[in-house]
Structure 1
Amino acid sequence: MHETPPSTLLLNPDELGPDPAPGMDLAVKLGIGHLEIRSAGGANAVTLPADRLRHIRALADERGLKAAALASPLWKWCRPEARPGRVDTFGFPTQVPPEERLGWVERAIETARILGAPVVRVFSHLRVEPELTEQLLGDPLLAKALELANAAGVRLLLENEPVCTVAHAESLLEILDRYHGQGLGLWLDVANLHEVGQATPDVVRALAPYVGYVHVKDYRPTDGGGRAFCPAGEGVVPYGEVLPLLHAARPALPYALETHVRDTPADALAAGAAFLRSAVPGGVA
């Protein structure tokens, strides 16, 4: 009888700052062997030249770490004439002419190849003025991107992002049902799902077959109606309920810590790692 391999824990080095080395050193200290790469040196990873990307990979290799995911900004964009609100894309423009987008898809896949990352995050177009908001369902670029990713041995995973067009379970399931056979999976951000009021057992069970990656962050509501980010397990996101459901349906998932805790990110990551190791059935490695 074969035992199910443990789930995997990931850390994003840019949570500690623009230099990836301190974040990688923290990963080693915390016994985390896998990385999510999003930015370095204040620039989005997909904008970096090949030699910079090879340097990042060398830094990881020296520490025995592997890049397990590229947190790309693909489809977190709108047309140049649209007016997006404040959006965090980590050094990537939000207004991208349609004729330039295929080039960015190709660049992201090449970035993943250089880093050795097997999965690439995508989004679903920013929600802007209704008449200018684009839709992911039926977007010919998505079909082309999936074709290119499959040829490169890379998998595209769609994140549920509230500032984008596909954030609720209904639209997520519509997209995933349509494109899952072409390789598209779900980059599930549990906190984002909770933000839209859908981190419920029924929704998690419905989405679970598509999940290929899990983003873990947490927050507490503030008096002004905002959010204060905190270490995973210390906020209102119902991980105690969600994580066992995900594990039951999809054992051995990658769980990536994304704290957004600005003042003490290293402490927040350490606390989040300890929480996940206790909260995910079977633990995380």
Structure 2
Amino acid sequence: MNVRPAAALVLNPDELGPDPVPGMDLAVKLGIGQLEIRSAEGANALMLPDDRLKHIRALADERGLQVTALASPLWKWCRPEARPGRVDSFAFSTQVLPEKRLGWVERAINVAGILGAPIVRVFSHLRVEEDLTERFAGDPLLAKALEVANRAGVRLLLENEPVCTVAHAEPLLEVLERYHGQGLGLWLDVANLHEVGQATPEVVRALAPYVGYVHVKDYRPVGGGGRAFCPAGTGVVPYGEVLPLLRAACPVLPYALETHVRVTPADALAAGAAFLRSAVPGGLA
């Protein structure tokens, strides 16, 4: 497989529910030609049998859609003796024996191959009890995974996830500088960067050379320190500053809508697509 980068929108069908068909049909309606697959049919994509994955691929092919990314849960895990807090891992266990992890890496890359996805997301270990939290940089499994991915023509991209160990700019840059030559890139979630107080022009410029994929969601603060997800462009995430910087530094990128709006997700995705097409200089396909 060859990476198919594009300055284009990406839609995840599971934002509309476990049946991928409504999400794919919405993508067609909105003129979005690329998909991100995370879960389907009530299961994490890594847990689906090959015949169901081939069925999802066929559904996409019938509609002229390409699967651009597998939003895998790799490294969003800890040892079984650790106690993770509440974590959204989309029907995948957060406690994984170290000796089982390479098998899941290989499974994810195989799933990407079935779906035709050239990009696979990874995380960086869950933050748990201090003496049980694992380090991502230096993890021998990471070097092995990059070798396996490179042989398969798949690129691993690290998401900056606040519940994981690598979410702030300094450790992100440390890991990316260390492993970029081996193929690791950045799956940039702008809202996550804003959540840790670092969605600034300076940080975005520093991270931009490593970005291979952009996740777009938005939220508004609510009482008690919580947040309510809303259509992209209607919340507090500073996309007006960030998107022009990313476009200038990386003219060709996929921008994936991840609304998390529960009540009217299709409307939120449509509004987010319209916002991104107007907010990214030069527009998006």
- The reply to whether TM is greater than 0.5 is yes
Match of 1:82?
Answer: 82
Matched, 1:262 2:256: no
Rounded to whole Å, the distance in 1 between the matches of 2:6 and 2:44 is 31
Taking only the aligned residue pairs, the percentage that are identical comes to 85
* 1:147-188 deviation digits (Å, cap 9, x = unpaired): 000000000000000000000000000000000000000000
Q: Secondary structure at the match of 1:224?
A: helix
Match of 2:142?
Answer: 142
User: In the alignment, is the contact (CA less than 8 A) between 1:70 and 1:119 conserved in 2?
Assistant: yes
* 1:239-272 deviation digits (Å, cap 9, x = unpaired): 0000000000000110000000000000000000
* 1:175-232 deviation digits (Å, cap 9, x = unpaired): 0000000000000000000000000000000000000000000000002210000000
Alpha-carbon spacing, 1:251–1:73, altered in 2? closer, same or farther (3 Å): same
Match of 1:183?
Answer: 183
Matched, 1:7 2:17: no
Alpha-carbon spacing, 1:6–1:40, altered in 2? closer, same or farther (3 Å): closer
Q: Secondary structure at the match of 2:72?
A: strand
Match of 1:169?
Answer: 169
Provide the TM-score with structure 2 as the length reference.
0.98
Paired amino acid for 1:173: L
Paired amino acid for 1:179: Y
Q: Secondary structure at the match of 1:251?
A: coil
User: In the alignment, is the contact (CA less than 8 A) between 1:83 and 1:129 conserved in 2?
Assistant: yes
Rounded to whole Å, the distance in 1 between the matches of 2:148 and 2:220 is 40
Match of 1:218?
Answer: 218
Number of aligned residues = 281
User: In the alignment, is the contact (CA less than 8 A) between 2:45 and 2:111 conserved in 1?
Assistant: yes
User: In the alignment, is the contact (CA less than 8 A) between 1:121 and 1:157 conserved in 2?
Assistant: yes
User: In the alignment, is the contact (CA less than 8 A) between 1:6 and 1:283 conserved in 2?
Assistant: no
Rounded to whole Å, the distance in 2 between the matches of 1:112 and 1:255 is 19
Paired amino acid for 2:42: G
For structure 2, which runs of at least 5 residues remain unmatched after alignment?
A: none
Matched, 1:100 2:100: yes
User: In the alignment, is the contact (CA less than 8 A) between 2:6 and 2:254 conserved in 1?
Assistant: no
Rounded to whole Å, the distance in 2 between the matches of 1:42 and 1:229 is 22
Match of 1:277?
Answer: 277
Rounded to whole Å, the distance in 2 between the matches of 1:167 and 1:35 is 25
Paired amino acid for 1:197: G
Matched, 1:121 2:121: yes
Provide the TM-score with structure 1 as the length reference.
0.98
Rounded to whole Å, the distance in 2 between the matches of 1:15 and 1:27 is 11
Rounded to whole Å, the distance in 1 between the matches of 2:149 and 2:225 is 40
Q: Secondary structure at the match of 2:225?
A: coil
Deviation, structure 1 residue 120 = 0.1
Deviation, structure 1 residue 50 = 0.6
User: In the alignment, is the contact (CA less than 8 A) between 1:50 and 1:114 conserved in 2?
Assistant: yes
* 1:73-119 deviation digits (Å, cap 9, x = unpaired): 00000000000001001010000000000000000000000000000
Deviation, structure 1 residue 6 = 6.4
Rounded to whole Å, the distance in 2 between the matches of 1:138 and 1:261 is 37
Deviation, structure 1 residue 42 = 1.1
Rounded to whole Å, the distance in 2 between the matches of 1:54 and 1:93 is 23
Match of 1:50?
Answer: 50
